[in-house]
Structure 1
């Protein structure tokens, strides 16, 4: 059965479709708390999903925290605690609801430290500590904790991406680039990793970094020819390099040719999609969004 997308969920659904939709959001780590709560409240899934009920309850509980829905949080925690009275997973949810949500961050950190001593392999507990530091806007401290975390859990791609974004916030672009290099080594076929690395190099904005950006935008396009952001980046970097006075006329022409190819490919994609003239005229504005934004 084909699962309906999050945009289609309001169409008439069966219980099985609602269950599949919630599962899809869990697997894709999609954060859509209002939709999760609405689906949960629209369908009585308590007695029709078997043991999956507990995963759904945890999902709904997290959504309720995002929405500060105290009644729903209490309902979920009561059921989970009754079923798993000694579960560290349920205890973590309690800490999130009763301490983090009330911004009692120091108390929450103490509890997590105590839980980590009993279960040092629990990666989620380390991540909760880092999440608290980020919530407090203690970015340098969060970076240190994340770096220590990655020494223990080196294969956590989400953590590498999070560390990359933290470095970008601090405008430490070379360190952000290193994070993406690690991810590209582990998954060289992920076009989004190549794209993000290229964007960081584009932001650094030296001749050497611009050449790297062009190379990685090219690879992203090779892996996914319809990646529009990578195509925009390839156009911009090649255009920039085609005007470099230090280059030979041949090199400038080669880069101009690449820029022309990128623009023609962008135009073709829009034309094939029957996007219309108004979308073509928006290209220049969209190109301006390529530079990685840093938080001041």
Structure 2
């Protein structure tokens, strides 16, 4: 932790540089240093405009729109018609819920530079979502992914939007695309298992069981996947009525294993709040 009041101006500029390199916003920290930064900004001619951009983002994040407007005007005076400055203008309008003006500027950016259009397209989608137009946001995001199919953040966002409108099969498809890109990411397998469990039915419950197992194979410490596996297994036991069936025996063994694993983790975390939470969840989910 830094004591910002004791930092020299050179240390402050070094810190700003570090935050830029690490892609960290640190808006509250920058706001606390903003007065000293502006008083000494001319001492950093090579980084002046990068620092101004950091100040703009901090002002917008911390709800100081008039300060942000002042820095945007400074950039606009030195770089008229700059697409980068136009991006900050659109963000300023967006912060004021003036979505029509923000859309207009973003559309100009997209038309002016189609190669670097993805960030502007994604801002348009974000604004549409903020306006509560979920179906329109889905349509725009599908169109975006038709052009930029490797954008994992977009696939993840589309999945969340589909879940909001209860299009579970389409949400599952989006997560499957993410798994194709990152097959070793246990969170994607867990998410797909959750969706399949929510969809219900024997086939989806079997798939949920499979993906929960894969999640635990990739990350044995994923407690949510363990609890999900117990839920899915108990659900399947209700479908496989015949006590002698091979599938019921398999699911029963899996359920017993998952319960023993949860009990073991519970003992390891005895006395913690996590243990109490786990006990409560098990009491609700596990039948005799």
**TM-score scaled to structure 2, two decimals?**
0.80
In structure 1, what is the equivalent of residue 256 of structure 2?
A: 260
For residue 113 of structure 2, the aligned residue among 113, 119, 123 is 119
In structure 2, what is the equivalent of residue 30 of structure 1?
A: none
- Distance in 2, matches of 1:230 and 1:115, equals 43
**Higher CA-based Rg:** 2
In structure 2, what is the equivalent of residue 251 of structure 1?
A: 247
- Distance in 2, matches of 1:254 and 1:13, equals 64
In structure 2, what is the equivalent of residue 66 of structure 1?
A: 61
- Distance in 2, matches of 1:279 and 1:11, equals 36
**TM-score scaled to structure 1, two decimals?**
0.78
In structure 1, what is the equivalent of residue 230 of structure 2?
A: 235
Deviations 1:216-273 (A, max 9, x none): 111111111112222221222122222323565432232222223223323433444x
**Measured at CA, do residues 71 and 199 of structure 1 come closer, stay the same or move farther in structure 2, by a change above 3 Å?**
same
**Aligned residue pairs, count:** 275
- Distance in 2, matches of 1:9 and 1:179, equals 42
Which structure 2 segments of 5+ residues have no match?
A: none
Cα drift, residue 156 of structure 1:
0.5
- Distance in 2, matches of 1:155 and 1:81, equals 34
For residue 103 of structure 1, the aligned residue among 97, 108, 113 is 97
Deviations 1:165-211 (A, max 9, x none): 00000000001001011111111111111111111111111111111
- Contact 1:18/1:39 (8 A) holds in 2: no
For residue 211 of structure 1, the aligned residue among 182, 206, 213 is 206
Which structure 1 segments of 5+ residues have no match?
A: 1-7, 28-32, 291-296
**Measured at CA, do residues 72 and 264 of structure 1 come closer, stay the same or move farther in structure 2, by a change above 3 Å?**
farther
**Measured at CA, do residues 50 and 185 of structure 1 come closer, stay the same or move farther in structure 2, by a change above 3 Å?**
farther
**Measured at CA, do residues 38 and 261 of structure 1 come closer, stay the same or move farther in structure 2, by a change above 3 Å?**
same
After superposition, residues 264-283 of structure 1 pair within 5 angstroms as 264-272=260-268, 274-276=269-271, 278-283=273-278
CA RMSD between the two structures: 3.4
Cα drift, residue 287 of structure 1:
7.2
Q: Could you say which structure has the higher helix fraction? A: 2
In structure 1, what is the equivalent of residue 87 of structure 2?
A: 92
Q: Greater RCO between the two (CA within 8 Å, min separation 6)?
A: 1
Given the alignment of the two structures, is residue 26 of structure 1 paired with residue 29 of structure 2, yes or no?
no
After superposition, residues 46-65 of structure 1 pair within 5 angstroms as 54-55=49-50, 57-65=52-60
- Contact 1:210/1:237 (8 A) holds in 2: yes
**Measured at CA, do residues 289 and 26 of structure 1 come closer, stay the same or move farther in structure 2, by a change above 3 Å?**
farther
SS in 2 for 1:26: coil
